Amino acid sequence: MAETPGSSNDNNVSADSSSLWPDLEHGTIAFLLDARDEHEVRLLRDWVYARQPESDSLPSHSFITLPRGRADNLLDTMPAEGDAVWMQPLRIAWLPSARTPFGKARRRWLAKHRPERVAYIVGDGAWLGELRDRLAGSDDFITDDELSEFVASQALIALERSERSVRGARYKVPRILPSDVFANAHFRNLLANFAQQRDRTTDDVNEQAARYLREMAATQTPFTIEAMNALYRSACHSHHDAKINVDQAQLERVAETIGSRPVVFLISHKSMLDTMALSLVLFDANLPLPLTFGGINLNKPGLGAFARRAGIIFLRRSFQDNEIYKATFRRYIDYLIEKRFSLLWALEGTRSRTGKLLPPRFGLFNYVVESILRTKLYDVTFIPVSVAYDQITEVEDYSIEQRGQRKKPEGITWPLRFLRRGRSRGQIHLRFGKDLTIRELVEPPELEAGIDDRQKQILVATLAFEVAVRMNAATPITATAIVTMILLAGGNRAQSLTEIQGLARAGAALIRHRHLEIVGRSNFRDADAILGTLAQLNRTGIVTYLDEGTERLYAISPDQHLNAAYYRNTAIHYFILDAFVEIALLDAATESGVQREVFFARTNEFRELFKFEFYFPRRANYQAEIESRVRDRFDDWERTTPSAFKEVKPLVAHGVLRSFVDAYRVVASVLVAAGADAVDDKGDFLSRCLKTGKQELLQGRVFSAESISKTLYETGWKLAAYRGLLAANQEDARRDLLDEFRRINGRLDEILAITLARAV
């Protein structure tokens, strides 16, 4: 229990309170009070006096309230003892409970009626002379203003460190001190140069930079951390199981890393719940919460202030032409990394509309890597975070966008609407990938010598790619992904439980053979596990039951193919090379030439065709990985024949690649229809692809509605642009691309036929 002033219980004290009154032969004590108001000042003074030593006279002492802004005049209030002043930082922490508001009236009530909620924080003390020497270093002269600022900042750091021993590590919050940010000589000189170039005063430019800092800087508080995570918990639990599925061994490794070095979390972005789920996992594990980058569009009156205090860094969408803003942001990132605070952003920048991991955005990578190189803190550790869902709430919104329609804007009322969607969508699964630092990508001598801009660009791209690959490798395969893959692979054909279970068991055997992780109801030997997943998909309208025959059949519901494909796509990165192997083997077995050479030539071509859709092994490792996959599944593969496919289970190419091949074939056909004309209006081109795709679906020339996707057509546009097919007079090359995708589709039909023959 904590105590009221004058009592003797020290349970809510962060350090040995006997150190408050050291036995001084000379000098004096300055109690540095970090207090919000006079009420806290009185509580602290009374508490200090309640612990005074039993002697006739007290050591000489004074109470100094730390200023909330600049501390230029702090030394003016010090006792006239020179450097022989013992600096003792103190503050009060108001411990949270189920009811958390801590206004001034509330704090007064707590101090009187709930003293167990009052914690007295004692920071490590130091002599003023020691602090002066620490600040001065090799400099011969420091000003009183500089020393005042340093004393105040060191007191706050000591208090925050001690407060975490009472509250827990989850309450490690960055006390952003503008004076610390602006204390950097290079930053001050940069602002002075901007002022000179723009014929403005230095004070004017400094004030502009300070406004930018106030706009972007996150200022977490224990109260807002508690309140925001309560909201996060409500949001997650309104749609998913109460317990987030997390690998405890991975979490323990993350805790160890956070305790020893600065951390950058990079998270997959499938739902608005992604960062909420990570925050809850860290909060419940009593780990510090990262500061999260968010768009300035979220900085609405009321909501913006709350979000900033919950750890959101508000960032303008575009500021490349604003040199003062850019310089302030760079300095702020340096400050956070120097202070070893964790950062978080979504690797892809935006939510994936297809379920696959999108290409990484390099913007924030650039700034953080530059900061690492400037500060030489090469132990900054990047941790990939993958969040997988049995099902997600926003999947229908994604389908609307893929159909080329406009979804309803989320707006400021989105959180309330989200909380009202109370349908259960299974569990959230969170996994941490293998971490990395830039030391793994750049040799130490190169780092110490310094890298130029071109090397930095390569480093940023390589780092982002490695994070993405490790994020994909950490993603668990859900039972939902397996079942939707099986149903979609059959097109519009309904399937029985026996068929689905047989294919699911074969797929699970391959997954476990490769030591991959399946989550959810994954014991496919048990028919109830399959039925449970089908029932969950039926409740959300994705799967329909057909009971007109002698046994129940299952199929993807009309207009639900894109939704089902979303879940299927969360796992297909594990099987994309298998799909290439299957098609290339059929080509090698039926085409002229040396079978091995044809096989590798085809797999290399597939890599180029789908380079904008998937993450592949580096070129130096690609052939070895392909050969490993083919040896794993096909005996005597260099002399295989089409009949060998009948013995291999499962075959996956038709389930993995069909929608992409169909979509790209539509893109190629629209290009061919343009004749010799250049294609330069992307919006019009995508509109024609959507219309062509819908028509071909009605004609039965498109396998499934899941390929009628604006997102897939956009990637096809990228491929066409990369190959120069958007320019005029490219008729032959466009026709060749169309023929290529028609040919691949023929191979997928063959593989599907083999799979169906087994079900008879």
Q: Mind listing the pLDDT tens digit for each residue in 706-748?
A: 999 999 999 999 999 999 999 999 999 999 999 999 999 999 9
Q: What is the mean pLDDT of the chain?
A: 88
- Note every long-range contact of 312-316, with CB atoms under 8 Å and residues 24 or more positions apart, other chains counting: 312/218, 313/216, 313/217, 313/218, 314/215, 314/216, 315/216
For the sheet with 553-556, list strands across it: 495-496, 553-556, 543-546
Higher pLDDT, 328 or 52: 328
Handedness of CA 686, 692, 694, 697 (dihedral sign): negative
Question: What pLDDT sits at residue 553?
Answer: 97
Question: What pLDDT sits at residue 27?
Answer: 80
Question: What pLDDT sits at residue 81?
Answer: 66
Question: pLDDT for 338-352, tens place per residue?
Answer: 888 899 999 998 899
Residue 650 pLDDT level (bands cut at 50, 70, 90): very high
Q: 470: number of CA atoms within 13 Å, CB side?
A: 20
**What is the residue whose two structure tokens read 């071909």?**
696
Higher pLDDT, 216 or 139: 216
Handedness of CA 714, 716, 720, 726 (dihedral sign): negative
Q: For residue 1, give Cα distances in angstroms to 10, 117, 170, 488.
A: 8, 8, 21, 61
Question: What pLDDT sits at residue 95?
Answer: 75
What residue ranges of the chain are covered by domains with CATH 1.10.10.10? Answer: 477-573
Question: What pLDDT sits at residue 100?
Answer: 45
Q: Which of 477, 490, 483 is CA-nearest to residue 542?
A: 483
What residue ranges of the chain are covered by domains with CATH 3.40.1130.10? Answer: 190-474
Higher pLDDT, 22 or 621: 621
Length of the chain: 760
Q: Which of 491, 475, 476, 477 is CA-nearest to residue 655?
A: 491
Q: For residue 476, give Cα distances in angstroms to 117, 181, 237, 387.
A: 42, 41, 21, 9
Six-digit token pair at 76? 């003016």
Question: What pLDDT sits at residue 721?
Answer: 97
Higher pLDDT, 386 or 72: 386
Q: Is 464 helix (H, G, I), strand (E, B) or coil?
A: helix
Q: Is 295 helix (H, G, I), strand (E, B) or coil?
A: strand
- 330 C-beta neighbours (distance < 10 Å), count: 16
Question: Position 348: which residue type?
Answer: E
pLDDT surpasses 70 at 159: yes
- Relative to beta strand 553-556, strand 543-546 is antiparallel
Distance between CA atoms of residues 651 and 333, nearest Å: 48
Q: Which of 287, 279, 254 is CA-nearest to residue 168?
A: 287
Residue 644 pLDDT level (bands cut at 50, 70, 90): confident
**What is the residue whose two structure tokens read 């036929």?**
753
Contact 657, 704 (CB under 8 A): no
Question: What pLDDT sits at residue 419?
Answer: 65
- 456 C-beta neighbours (distance < 10 Å), count: 16
Six-digit token pair at 104? 């001034």
Question: What pLDDT sits at residue 7?
Answer: 37
Question: What pLDDT sits at residue 5?
Answer: 33
Q: What is the largest CA-CA distance in the chain?
A: 105
Highest-scoring range by mean pLDDT, 80-84, 225-229, 638-642, 689-693: 689-693
Average pLDDT over residues 424-444: 94
Question: What pLDDT sits at residue 171?
Answer: 65
Distance between CA atoms of residues 421 and 237, nearest Å: 11
pLDDT surpasses 50 at 505: yes
Distance between CA atoms of residues 741 and 735, nearest Å: 10
Question: What pLDDT sits at residue 610?
Answer: 97
Question: Position 31: which residue type?
Answer: F
Average pLDDT over residues 682-701: 96
Six-digit token pair at 41? 């000042």
Question: pLDDT for 472-495, tens place per residue?
Answer: 999 999 999 999 999 999 988 999
Lowest mean pLDDT among 63-67, 249-253, 541-545: 63-67
- 226 C-beta neighbours (distance < 10 Å), count: 18
**End-to-end alpha-carbon separation of the chain, Å?**
72
Question: What pLDDT sits at residue 4?
Answer: 32
Distance between CA atoms of residues 274 and 234, nearest Å: 14
Class of residue 16 by CB neighbours under 10 A (exposed 0-12, middle 13-18, buried 19+): exposed
User: What residues have CB less than 8 Å from 365, skipping those under 6 apart?
Assistant: 460, 463, 464
Distance between CA atoms of residues 427 and 240, nearest Å: 5
Question: What pLDDT sits at residue 321?
Answer: 84
Handedness of CA 488, 489, 490, 491 (dihedral sign): positive
**How would DSSP label each residue in 431-457?**
EE---B-GGGTS-HHHHHH---HHHHH
Average pLDDT over residues 125-147: 80
Lowest mean pLDDT among 8-17, 100-109, 192-201, 646-655: 8-17
Give percent above pLDDT 70 in the chain.
90
Question: What pLDDT sits at residue 179?
Answer: 73
User: What is the dotted CATH code of the domain comprising 477-573?
Assistant: 1.10.10.10
Give percent above pLDDT 90 in the chain.
60
**Partners of 292 in the β-ladder:** 312, 344
Phi-psi region of 418 (alpha: psi -120 to 50; beta: other; left: phi over 0): alpha
User: What is the dotted CATH code of the domain comprising 190-474?
Assistant: 3.40.1130.10
pTM of the entire predicted model: 0.84
**Partners of 87 in the β-ladder:** 30, 126
State how far Cα 451 lies from the chain centre.
Answer: 27
Residue 16 pLDDT level (bands cut at 50, 70, 90): low
Question: pLDDT for 255-273, tens place per residue?
Answer: 999 988 899 999 999 998 9
